[in-house]
């Protein structure tokens, strides 16, 4: 038994390195997805202190909107790349409207409330989006318009370590686009006037207000940015599988990612996402069979939990000094 | 008062708490460096000093919230280097806080009742029934708490959630909560900060009453020098984590180092 | 006018420390009890009993359990459904292993198993707080649910993977299984819920309840009052999980009759959290109000198009329910973030001074 747990998996790893690389790659790819969802969380948490449960559903909703617009266009006989990008633009527009609505209807009246109330309010947003989305787009899974958006398909097979490692092109594209987006966000936060205002708001709402930063405007921007992140996530994820409401549960995986990375750290979200993605896949592949499989459903949380006990503030969070 | 220190020593009895060479730092920042002083039974001991002198940190060390890197603390004859806050509480050290640390969602009565927690012993079973012994215990302690409420003249706000009370009253409730523990050593962290003259006078009266009639030993941090000089038996002065003076109010007032610290060098 | 406490003087502290110090409240409670114990079983339809009242009471019990943790002790939990599942599976195992012992005993005992599991997953709460703790409880949720699927022993190697409730009796009357009438099941549920609510009320009004609230409001000050955080938090986890466990056992045995692991999925956890927040954190009455709103409202919404004669597809109604419930959550949070219980208090205050505004 002990042999099966502590030795056998590693023997397997060494004996079949190509399988290990494949597993690692798959872990990294799902890690990128987690990281992207977590990134949306972090953006909103940083700027408004709101733990946005709706991020997961925003991913689904934005992807559905995109596909929905494109389907409408093609029913009018307007399809192809131009139509796809017009749909993309319109979907982004919808996310902007959503951001404004959320700010106006939900955040503004609740600004002084404790975190848990705002957290609950984002649950409300989630339910509204689910209900609205299902009524408008229907519940059945849909195909992402990957080709029309110039996203590659198929796979690259690399011969290495005595075997074939197969990399999906879409995954490579996802990794590249995710990195670009992270760099873009980092520049936006560090170099622009709005970015500075964002960081000020993150530190203290009241102090930011007192120097003339408009909270309402900042919130719209942040929720819009999170909406765009959601849209990109939705496209990437939709291109790998279908667009459906099942992603809701995947979005919860962003929680352990955030815990690992620290709630306010953008690099933390990325590193945390990759760790969770890789850890999960390795665990499932090498140790899962011992427990009867399916341990992917909880392994991420347990990894995060164990990690938390050692470092309650997360990888990149500041050390907590309690003061009285 | 020819030899003030000796005279105080005679009236005040033995040492209740001795701080011996305590140093405390957070990472690179030194909060307290090699500070020693003692608190004698029945006295009012003031700790003063400019902002950031390490006064609150000193109180945190005394009741076990921070653990000093060096030095020892002797309380009631027992020497220790580290102690958990609840142990300090169970040995009779109570305190109030600089920024009021009341349980905001609870009523005044419940806040003060929490102070009785250590003295209530009925377990989960009786608590579930809220009947017989558990109820008798509850009523006994309620009676004691009502005495404190009378003493502090806060009868009218008994059932008000403390979050809704004005600042001065909150400070008073906090004092009540500490008193409910029937402490031997009461640590008061700026009990009069942000109060107007009238409220300060009230608070002074409570502190003196406590000390005179109940014999509670009190250590207090206060910025109002007038109050400190009137109330306290002996004063410790801290500056940048170092002790710069220790003695009766008169001695401290005359100490050139203290004058430098408060008015700046070259005044 | 009729809600005045003038002239009701308290002669001793015992009377003043009572849970309902005001006479009218006690009358109100008595009336509710009469309605619950006499009127509803006598005049209520089978639908009202089986699909409205029984689920409402059971969910209220679960909400009370969660409220002890989130509302009274300030520990956020997203694993409620997992703990309810532990109760359900424990009751199922116990009652199939020892069928001769009364089922009611096993339902209550199952709470202890849930409490034990709750304590284990509550251990990290000493070091981690807030949303970070939510992750620990999520770990409980997903791990436990995985156990319900994968550990065949738990469902007696049933090929369907579900647990089916055997018929059991109390004093010769069938209370579980297909033979039990809704009225009988209703009485059992009502009895358990009333007694356990009373006990919960006693605990939260006494020393232990104050300890929990102190930890919630200002844990540092609580420590300096002599409260040890870990035992206090673990006790909260234990009591809370006990309530959730019993609620879970009741849910399977007296409401659903059979359950698959998916009955205890994360959605149920969220649903209970809604009830607690909408009802009011730190309020037992609020738990009932929240459960009533979240459970009964969708029943109305579903029944509405039919009664109005509108031809709306069932699926659309389901989605509309989502939309409306979501909107209502936001609406109630904005109107009164402290929940329905606070609204109720404000109403009582208004009644007290009526007809004057103050």
Interchain contact, B105 vs C218, CB within 8 Å: no
Structural domain contains residue C305: yes
Over residues A95-134, the pLDDT tens digits come to 999 999 988 888 888 877 777 788 888 888 988 998 888 8
Closest CA to B255 of B235, B230, B231: B235
**Which residues in chain A are contacts of C327 at CB distance < 8 A?**
124, 127-128
Structural domain contains residue C280: yes
Give the C-alpha distances (Å, rounded to integers) separating C265 from A212, C41, C140, C194.
46, 31, 11, 27
Whether ipTM exceeds 0.85 = yes
pLDDT for C115:
95
- How large a percentage of chain A has pLDDT more than 70? 89
Q: Give the single-character DSSP code of B161.
A: B
All partners of chain A with 3 or more CB pairs under 8 angstroms: B, C
Give Cα A96 to chain centroid, integer Å: 18
Has residue B88 got a pLDDT over 70?
A: yes
Which residue, chain included where needed, has tokens 């494949």? Answer: A22
Structural domain contains residue A319: no
Structural domain contains residue A173: yes
pLDDT for C343:
85
Which position has the higher pLDDT, A317 or A192?
A: A192
Highest mean pLDDT among B211-215, C191-195, C224-228: C191-195
Give Cα B42 to chain centroid, integer Å: 13
Over residues A133-144, the pLDDT tens digits come to 888 887 677 777
| Closest chain B residue by Cα to residue C219 | B103
Which position has the higher pLDDT, A29 or C211?
A: C211
- Provide the shortest C-alpha distance from residue A313 to chain B (in Å): 17
- How large a percentage of chain A has pLDDT more than 90? 3
Which range has the worst mean pLDDT, A167-176, A220-229, B208-217? A167-176
Reported confidence tier of residue C57, pLDDT bands at 50, 70, 90: very high
pLDDT for C10:
76
- How large a percentage of chain B has pLDDT more than 90? 28
Report the mean per-residue pLDDT for chain C. 86
Phi, psi of C35 (to 5 degrees): -60, -45
Give the C-alpha distances (Å, rounded to integers) separating A318 from A207, A315, C331.
21, 9, 36
Looking at the complex, does the CB of residue B155 fall below 8 Å from at least one CB of chain C? no
Which range has the worst mean pLDDT, A51-65, A73-87, C72-86, C286-300? A73-87
Which position has the higher pLDDT, A296 or A40?
A: A40
**Which residues in chain B are contacts of A321 at CB distance < 8 A?**
26
Interchain contact, C213 vs B118, CB within 8 Å: no
Structural domain contains residue A227: yes
Q: What tokens were used for C287?
A: 């738990």
Nearest-10 Cα torsion for A67, A68, A70, A73: 170
Which residue, chain included where needed, has tokens 């206090």? Answer: C232
d(CA B153, CA B143): 15
Residue B236, classed as helix, strand or coil, is: strand
Mean pLDDT of C81-95: 93
Looking at the complex, does the CB of residue A132 fall below 8 Å from at least one CB of chain C? yes
Mean pLDDT of B240-255: 89
Residue A107, classed as helix, strand or coil, is: helix
Has residue B145 got a pLDDT over 70?
A: yes
Residues 243-262 of chain A whose Cβ lies under 8 A from any Cβ of chain C: 249, 252, 255-256, 259
Residue A226 sits in which domain range? 20-310
Has residue B265 got a pLDDT over 70?
A: no
Q: The domain that contains A230 carries what CATH number?
A: 1.10.3470
pLDDT for C281:
87
Structural domain contains residue C7: no
d(CA C70, CA C66): 6
Residues 170-199 of chain C whose Cβ lies under 8 A from any Cβ of chain B: 199
Query: Do residues B36 and B22 make contact, with C-beta atoms less than 8 angstroms apart?
Result: yes
pLDDT for C248:
94
pLDDT for B150:
92
Reported confidence tier of residue C195, pLDDT bands at 50, 70, 90: very high
Residues pairing with A23 in the sheet: none
Domains in chain B (CATH in brackets) are: 1-92+184-267 (3.40.50.300), 105-182 (no CATH)
Has residue C14 got a pLDDT over 80?
A: no
Residue C39 sits in which domain range? 20-353
For testing contact with chain C, the best of A308, A311, A324 (most C CBs within 10 A): A308
Number of domains in chain C: 1
Which position has the higher pLDDT, A295 or C232?
A: C232
For testing contact with chain C, the best of B128, B160, B164 (most C CBs within 10 A): B128
Give the C-alpha distances (Å, rounded to integers) separating A135 from A29, A96, B32, C266.
32, 21, 65, 23
Report the mean per-residue pLDDT for chain A. 80
Query: Do residues C82 and C148 make contact, with C-beta atoms less than 8 angstroms apart?
Result: no
Structural domain contains residue A318: no
- Provide the shortest C-alpha distance from residue B63 to chain C (in Å): 8
Which range has the worst mean pLDDT, A134-148, A191-205, B43-57? A134-148
Mean pLDDT of C268-282: 89
Please provide the DSSP assignment of C132-176 as one string. Answer: HHHHHHHHHHHHHHHHHHH-GGGGTT-TTS-EEPPPEEETTEEEE
pLDDT for B10:
44
Q: Give the single-character DSSP code of B95.
A: E
Reported confidence tier of residue A68, pLDDT bands at 50, 70, 90: confident
Which range has the worst mean pLDDT, A47-51, B185-189, B225-229, C224-228? A47-51
d(CA C16, CA C14): 5
Looking at the complex, does the CB of residue C310 fall below 8 Å from at least one CB of chain B? no
Size of interface A-C (CB pairs under 8 A): 135
Structural domain contains residue A315: no
Reported confidence tier of residue C60, pLDDT bands at 50, 70, 90: very high
d(CA C141, CA C94): 22
Give Cα A277 to chain centroid, integer Å: 12
Q: The domain that contains C295 carries what CATH number?
A: 1.10.3470
- How large a percentage of chain C has pLDDT more than 70? 97
Interface residue ranges in chain C relative to chain A, Cβ cutoff 8 Å? 70, 76, 124, 127-132, 134-136, 138-139, 142-143, 145-146, 149-150, 220-221, 266, 270, 273-274, 277, 281, 315-316, 319-330, 333-334, 337
Structural domain contains residue C38: yes
Residues pairing with B221 in the sheet: B47, B189
Reported confidence tier of residue B8, pLDDT bands at 50, 70, 90: very low
Mean pLDDT of C339-345: 84
Is beta strand B185-189 parallel, antiparallel or unpaired with respect to B15-26? unpaired
In chain A, DSSP finds a helix count (H) and a strand count (E) of: 16, 2
Which position has the higher pLDDT, A86 or A204?
A: A86
Over residues C125-152, the pLDDT tens digits come to 877 777 778 888 888 898 998 888 888 8
Number of domains in chain A: 1
Structural domain contains residue A40: yes
Which residue, chain included where needed, has tokens 């909703």? Answer: A61
Structural domain contains residue A50: yes
Structural domain contains residue C329: yes
Interchain contact, A324 vs B26, CB within 8 Å: no
User: Which residues are within 8 A (CB) of B65 and not within 5 positions of it... i.e. 6 or more apart?
Assistant: A324, B85, C220, C223, C224
Looking at the complex, does the CB of residue C79 fall below 8 Å from at least one CB of chain B? no
Reported confidence tier of residue A162, pLDDT bands at 50, 70, 90: low
Q: Give the single-character DSSP code of A113.
A: S
Phi, psi of B186 (to 5 degrees): -110, 120
Highest mean pLDDT among A266-280, B114-128, B164-178: B164-178
d(CA C16, CA B149): 15
Mean pLDDT of A282-308: 79
pLDDT for A321:
59
Which position has the higher pLDDT, A58 or A164?
A: A58
Reported confidence tier of residue A319, pLDDT bands at 50, 70, 90: low
Structural domain contains residue C297: yes
Structural domain contains residue A1: no
């Amino acid at each position: 038994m002990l042999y099966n747990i502590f030795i056998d998996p590693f023997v397997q790893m060494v004996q079949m390195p190509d399988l290990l690389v494949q597993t690692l790659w798959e872990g990294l790819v799902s890690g990128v997805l987690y990281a992207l969802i977590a990134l949306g969380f972090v953006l909103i948490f940083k700027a408004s202190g709101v733990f946005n449960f709706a991020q997961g559903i925003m991913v689904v909703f934005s992807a559905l909107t995109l596909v929905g617009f494109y389907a409408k266009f093609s029913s009018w006989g307007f399809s192809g790349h131009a139509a796809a990008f017009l749909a993309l633009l319109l979907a982004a527009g919808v996310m902007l409207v959503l951001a404004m609505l959320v700010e106006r209807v939900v955040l503004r009246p609740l600004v002084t409330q404790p975190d848990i109330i705002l957290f609950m309010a984002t649950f409300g947003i989630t339910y509204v989006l689910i209900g609205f989305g299902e009524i408008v787009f229907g519940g059945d899974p849909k195909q992402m318009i990957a080709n029309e958006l110039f996203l590659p398909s198929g796979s690259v097979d690399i011969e290495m370590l005595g075997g074939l490692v197969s990399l999906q092109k879409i995954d490579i594209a996802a990794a590249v686009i995710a990195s670009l987006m992270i760099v873009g966000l980092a520049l936006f936060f560090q170099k622009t006037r709005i970015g500075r205002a964002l960081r000020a708001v993150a530190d203290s709402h009241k102090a930011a207000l007192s120097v003339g930063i408009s909270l309402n405007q900042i919130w719209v921007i942040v929720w819009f940015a999170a909406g765009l992140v959601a849209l990109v996530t939705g496209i990437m994820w939709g291109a790998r599988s279908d667009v459906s409401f099942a992603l809701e549960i995947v979005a919860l995986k962003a929680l352990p990612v955030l815990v690992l990375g620290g709630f306010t750290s953008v690099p933390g979200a990325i590193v945390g996402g990759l760790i969770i993605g890789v850890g999960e896949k390795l665990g499932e592949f090498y140790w899962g069979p011992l427990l009867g499989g399916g341990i992917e459903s909880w392994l991420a949380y347990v990894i995060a939990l164990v990690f938390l006990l050692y470092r309650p503030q997360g990888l990149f969070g500041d050390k907590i000094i309690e003061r009285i | 008062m020819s030899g003030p220190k000796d005279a105080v020593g005679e009236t005040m009895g033995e040492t209740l708490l001795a701080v011996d060479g305590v140093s405390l730092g957070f990472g690179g920042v030194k909060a307290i460096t090699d500070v020693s002083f003692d608190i004698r039974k029945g006295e009012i001991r003031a700790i003063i000093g400019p902002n950031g002198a390490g006064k609150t940190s000193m109180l945190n060390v005394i009741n076990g919230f921070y653990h000093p890197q060096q030095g020892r603390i002797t309380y009631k004859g027992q020497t220790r280097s580290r102690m958990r806050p609840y142990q300090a509480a169970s040995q009779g050290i109570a305190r109030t806080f600089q920024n009021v640390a009341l349980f905001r969602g609870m009523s005044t009565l419940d806040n003060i009742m929490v102070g009785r927690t250590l003295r209530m012993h009925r377990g989960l079973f009786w608590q579930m029934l809220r009947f017989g012994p558990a109820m008798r215990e509850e009523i006994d302690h309620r009676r004691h708490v009502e005495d404190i409420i009378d003493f502090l003249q806060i009868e009218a706000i008994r059932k008000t959630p403390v979050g809704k009370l004005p600042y001065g009253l909150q400070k008073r409730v906090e004092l009540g909560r500490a008193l409910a523990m029937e402490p031997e050593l009461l640590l008061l962290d700026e009990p009069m900060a942000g109060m107007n003259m009238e409220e300060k006078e009230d608070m002074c009266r409570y502190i003196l009453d406590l000390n005179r009639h109940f014999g509670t030993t009190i250590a207090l941090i206060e910025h109002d020098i007038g109050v400190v000089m009137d109330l306290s038996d002996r004063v410790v002065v801290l500056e940048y984590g170092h002790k710069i003076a220790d003695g009766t109010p008169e001695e401290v007032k005359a100490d050139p180092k203290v004058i430098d610290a408060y008015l700046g060098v070259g005044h | 006018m009729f809600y005045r406490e003038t002239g009701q003087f308290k002669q001793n502290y015992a009377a003043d420390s009572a849970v309902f110090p005001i006479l009218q409240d006690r009358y109100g409670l008595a009336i509710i009890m009469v309605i619950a114990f006499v009127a509803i079983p006598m005049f209520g339809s089978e639908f009202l009993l089986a699909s409205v009242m029984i689920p409402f009471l059971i969910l209220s019990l679960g909400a009370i359990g969660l409220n002890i943790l989130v509302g009274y002790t300030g520990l956020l939990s997203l694993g409620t459904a997992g703990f309810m599942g532990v109760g359900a599976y424990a009751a199922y195992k116990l009652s199939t292993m020892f069928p001769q012992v009364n089922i009611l005993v096993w339902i209550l005992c199952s709470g202890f198993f849930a409490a034990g599991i709750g304590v284990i997953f509550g251990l990290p709460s000493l070091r981690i707080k807030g949303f970070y703790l939510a992750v620990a409880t999520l770990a409980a949720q997903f791990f436990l649910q995985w156990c319900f699927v994968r550990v065949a022993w738990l469902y007696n190697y049933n090929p369907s993977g579900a647990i089916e409730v055997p018929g059991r009796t109390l004093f010769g009357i069938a209370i579980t299984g297909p033979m039990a009438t809704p009225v009988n099941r209703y009485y059992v549920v009502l009895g358990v819920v009333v007694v356990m609510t009373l006990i919960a009320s006693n605990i939260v009004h006494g020393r232990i309840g104050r300890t929990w609230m102190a930890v919630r409001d200002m844990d540092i000050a609580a420590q300096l009052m002599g409260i040890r955080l870990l035992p206090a938090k673990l006790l909260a986890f234990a009591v809370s999980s006990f309530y959730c466990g019993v609620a879970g056992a009741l849910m399977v045995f007296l409401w659903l009759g059979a359950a698959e692991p998916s009955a205890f999925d994360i959605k149920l956890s969220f649903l209970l959290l809604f009830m607690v927040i909408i009802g009011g954190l730190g309020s037992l009455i609020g738990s009932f109000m929240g459960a009533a709103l979240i459970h009964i409202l969708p029943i109305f919404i579903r029944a509405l198009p039919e009664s109005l004669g509108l031809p709306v597809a069932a699926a659309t109604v389901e989605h509309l329910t989502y939309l409306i419930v979501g909107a209502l959550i936001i609406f109630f949070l904005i109107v009164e973030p402290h929940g329905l219980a606070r609204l109720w208090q404000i109403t009582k205050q208004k009644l007290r001074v009526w007809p004057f505004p103050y």
